[in-house]
Amino acid sequence: MSFVEYGDTIKDGDTAIVFLGHESMFPVKVQHGTVTQTKYGVIRHSTDLIGKKYGSKVTCSKGGWVFILHPTPELWTMNLPHRTQILYSTDISIITMMLELKPGSIVCESGTGSGSLSHALIRTVAPTGHLYTVEFHQQRAEKAREEFREHGVEHLVTVTNQDVCKNGFGVSNVADAVFLDIPSPWEAIGHAKSALKAEGGRICSFSPCIEQVQRTCLAMEEYGFTEINTLEILLRVYNVRTISLQIPDLGKAAEDNSSTGFDSSNPSHHGSPCANLQQGTVQFKSGVPLREVVGHTGYLTFATKS
């Protein structure tokens, strides 16, 4: 099993996603002889998972069922254990596009955190690219190495435990892109410039506060970066619902009905909007925004090494 190569069959040692619903799923490490408890009952790894195909519908001990999904960076982002605050797919997608990443790209990242963005970067640059990720916290760096090894992508990533603001990324003039998610990104701009290739490399800095963005932009200008711009990505989801609105009384409803040849006794007209005119309402489909939407996550500042 690998996060960058799809496998058909669930094997011992794989990481799989147990899907109970769009709002309910969790990761599980498949191990022979192990069981997993769900609200629908027990899943026995030896008989219910190992050897089955990914995407299979598995019946639990209480009669309910779940789906077992192959892990992807997107599913991992929704289910990973949080060691730090993470980036979600909305920001990750624009980062990947604006950094112009593709298979074979070399990327430097700091900090690694919970590895949400790291998995997406690895999938994008595979099979010939490489990710150099730096994490200041030793335990988080060790946990990231362990996860990359379990997920079959350790050959595509190098994890370093050091302070990027003092020691840099450990590489020079090779990176196609650099990503910074640290409290003081302006202190690492010089190291980012050193890590980037001679010309045309892209850099992105994620910061939740506009004051951080201001200092980072000044540092980018000082080190000669061009095309500096800052984005904020806000996601607004709409639900399609049936809306009923009262028809205004314009005083000519009866004449309009007779002029159009509307026959209320004709059953074929009962399903049409005109049938609701007698009731004073009309129904139609409309997009309605959610009552609660995801707000500000952070500012994304992009620039190019000239």
Task: Judge contact between 202 and 302, C-beta under 8 A.
Answer: yes
Residue 122 or 291, more confident = 122
At residue 249 the predicted structure's pLDDT band, cuts being 50, 70 and 90, is: confident
d(Cα 30, Cα 290) in Å, to the nearest integer?
A: 37
Rounded to whole angstroms, how far apart are CA atoms 30 and 24?
Answer: 19
**Residue 213 to residues 44, 52, 93, 206, 280, Cα–Cα distance (Å):** 50, 49, 20, 8, 54
Per-residue pLDDT reduced to its tens digit, 74-113: 999 999 999 999 999 999 999 999 999 999 999 999 999 9
> How many angstroms separate the CA atoms of 182 and 165, rounded?
9
193 near 175, Cβ under 8 Å?
Answer: no
* pLDDT for the residue numbered 276: 47
Q: Please tell us whether the domain made up of 75-234+295-305 is placed in CATH 1.10.10.10.
A: no
Q: Is the pLDDT score of 115 beyond 50?
A: yes
pLDDT for res 243: 86
- DSSP β-bridge partners for residue 56: none
Average pLDDT over the chain reads 90
Tokens 């192990």 appear where?
34
In this prediction, residue 43 carries a pLDDT of 96
Residue 277 pLDDT > 60: no
**Average pLDDT of the residues in 21-47:** 94
| Cα angle 167, 169, 172; round to 5 | 105
Which pLDDT value is given to residue 257? 55
221 is in an annotated binding site: no
Predicted confidence at residue 266, as pLDDT, reads 54
What percentage of the chain reaches a pLDDT higher than 90? 75
Do the two domains 9-71 and 75-234+295-305 of this chain adopt the same fold?
no
Confidence of residue 259 (pLDDT cuts 50, 70, 90): low
Among 58-62, 148-152, 257-261, the least confident range: 257-261
Instruction: Say yes or no to pLDDT of 247 above 90.
Output: no
pLDDT of residue 289: 84
pLDDT in tens, 167-220: 999 999 999 999 999 999 999 999 999 999 998 999 999 999 999 999 999 999
Residue ranges per structural domain of the chain: 9-71, 75-234+295-305
Name the pTM for this structure.
Answer: 0.84
Q: If pLDDT is split at 50, 70 and 90, which confidence band does 146 have?
A: very high
Of the candidate ranges 19-23, 200-204, 224-228, the one whose mean pLDDT is the lowest: 19-23
Residue 49 has pLDDT above 50, yes or no: yes
Q: CA-CA distance, 279 to 245, in Å (whole number)?
A: 11
- Give the ranges where 177-281 is alpha helix by DSSP (H): 189-195, 210-222, 253-259
pLDDT band at 248 (very low <50, low <70, confident <90, very high): confident
Any binding-site annotation on 89? no
181 labelled as ligand-binding? yes
Lowest mean pLDDT across 16-25, 94-103, 219-228, 273-282 = 273-282
% the chain with pLDDT above 70:
91
Q: What average pLDDT does range 100-128 have in this prediction? A: 97
Evaluate if residue 149 carries a pLDDT over 70: yes
- 135 assigned binding-site residue: yes
Element (H, E) at 298: none
248 prior amide bond cis, ω within 30: no
DSSP 216-234: HHHHHHHTTEEEEEEE---
CATH of span 9-71: 3.10.330.20
Written as one letter, the residue type at 83 is R
The whole-number average pLDDT for the span 36-57 is: 95
Residue 263 annotated in ligand binding? no
Say what the pLDDT of residue 265 is.
53
